[in-house]
Amino acid sequence: MTSRDQLINAQGQPAFGIFPDGVTELNYLDYDLRSPMDRKRSALAKRFGFNQFQFVSFISPQLIVGLAIVDLKLVSNAFLYLYDPETEAFEEFSFLQPLGMNTHIEPRPNDGNAEFRKGGNTFSIKASRTPGVRKVSVTLAKGVRIDATIDESTSYNPLAICTRAGYQGWVFTQKSTAQVCNGEVEWAGKKYDLQAIGALAGVDWTGGFMRHETFWNWGSLSCLLGDGRRLGFNLAAGVNETGFSENAIWLDGKMIKVDMVDFRFDRYHPDHSWALRSADGSIDLHFEPKGRRQEKTNALIIASNFNQYFGQYHGDIHLPDESIHLEGAWGLVEDHYARW
């Protein structure tokens, strides 16, 4: 089976695997959620146990942008950071809402809306199958504005998978990188035309009944090669690896699966480089951090130690028909611990 209208079947169980044509709806309230001792959980427990987030990046040698909407039910969060590689200017913004107030993420990866609002700060990510776009809009009280469109039509070939998470849970995630985008970012008195600066987009749509305590390392690339082709990847370790992995390379929109990836880095020396190598030999890279967004939260129930670095990749990607050498391509890595 390559695609599904709904992830949860008539018996209340999710379909596990990779879905080349995606999943229309995560009907998570139909899931037969139980305790570790097999006691049926209530509809309220299902609503509060289901976590969702969307992360979007825009990457170019002139501008790095990362933004997210996160709904953990007890608390919701939206953040945005911007980095100018030429001037090394960096600014970040983060907003919290108790009990997910003014936050809504529809459980439909390809035609659903995600919205967050706090005061004069609004985040919106709206997907539409027709005409096949994802619109991103951010307006901050401090004057930052984003109005962008990501092309998810003919060249869109995401990686959509569902994997087990602990004894009773599951996670669905849909990833894509190196997507064509256009629009404008207004920041610090300057306007950036995304198409003019050669920016490419990455999208991470994730939802599920996740492990209560988890961690992951993650790497993402979106770049233009010298011959004009679009190259990107999504690589991860520590999560979504129970039977399947979320590791893939995209070359001009065509997805190529990658085996397990080993991330080697020094957590307590954030300026040191990272090494990323895959078991199948297709990934042989190192990453030089240029800066990071970090946030630590340690509450009674929820905790997060989040470190996302922006920087440059060097090394080689070996594909079936060619090898591609990277020398300073901009991208992201992440080291994240979470309890929710």
Amino acid identity of 58?
Answer: F
Q: What is the CB neighbour count within 10 angstroms for residue 138?
A: 24
- The percent of residues in the chain predicted with pLDDT above 90, rounded, is 92
β-strands 4-6, 23-25 pairing = parallel
Amino acid identity of 213?
Answer: E
Summary mean pLDDT of the chain: 95
pLDDT, tens digit, 9 for 90 and up, residues 126-144: 999 888 999 999 999 999 9
Side-chain half-sphere CA neighbours of 32 within 13 A: 9
Q: Are 188 and 217 in contact (CB under 8 A)?
A: no
> What is the SS3 assignment for 251?
strand
Q: Are 288 and 270 in contact (CB under 8 A)?
A: no
Q: What is the distance between the alpha carbons of residues 316 and 162, in angstroms, rounded to a whole number?
A: 29
The reported pLDDT for the residue numbered 1 is 36
Q: What is the distance between the alpha carbons of residues 50 and 257, in angstroms, rounded to a whole number?
A: 28
The reported pLDDT for the residue numbered 3 is 54
**Contacts with 223 (C-beta within 8 Å, 6 or more apart), sequence order:** 59, 178, 200, 230, 231, 232, 326, 329, 330, 331
Q: What is the distance between the alpha carbons of residues 104 and 207, in angstroms, rounded to a whole number?
A: 13
Query: Tokens representing 21?
Result: 């044509």
Amino acid identity of 227?
Answer: D
Closest-CA residue to 90 (of 56, 117, 109, 63) = 63
pLDDT, tens digit, 9 for 90 and up, residues 272-287: 999 999 999 999 999 9
Task: Name the band, by pLDDT with cuts 50, 70 and 90, for residue 322.
Answer: very high
Task: Name the band, by pLDDT with cuts 50, 70 and 90, for residue 13.
Answer: very high
Convert 162-221 into a string of H (helix), E (strand) and C (coil): EEEECCCEEEEEEEEEEEEEEEEEEECCEEEECCCCCCEEEEEEEEEECCCEEEEEEEEE
Q: What are phi and psi of 113, to 5 degrees?
A: -110, 150
The reported pLDDT for the residue numbered 300 is 74
pLDDT at 75 over 60: yes
> What is the SS3 assignment for 281?
coil
Helix count and strand count (H, E) for the chain: 1, 25
Mean pLDDT for 175-187 is 97
Q: Whole-model pTM?
A: 0.96
CA distances from 145 to 77, 223, 278, 300, 338 (A): 18, 23, 38, 34, 29
The reported pLDDT for the residue numbered 154 is 67
Q: What is the distance between the alpha carbons of residues 308 and 141, in angstroms, rounded to a whole number?
A: 24
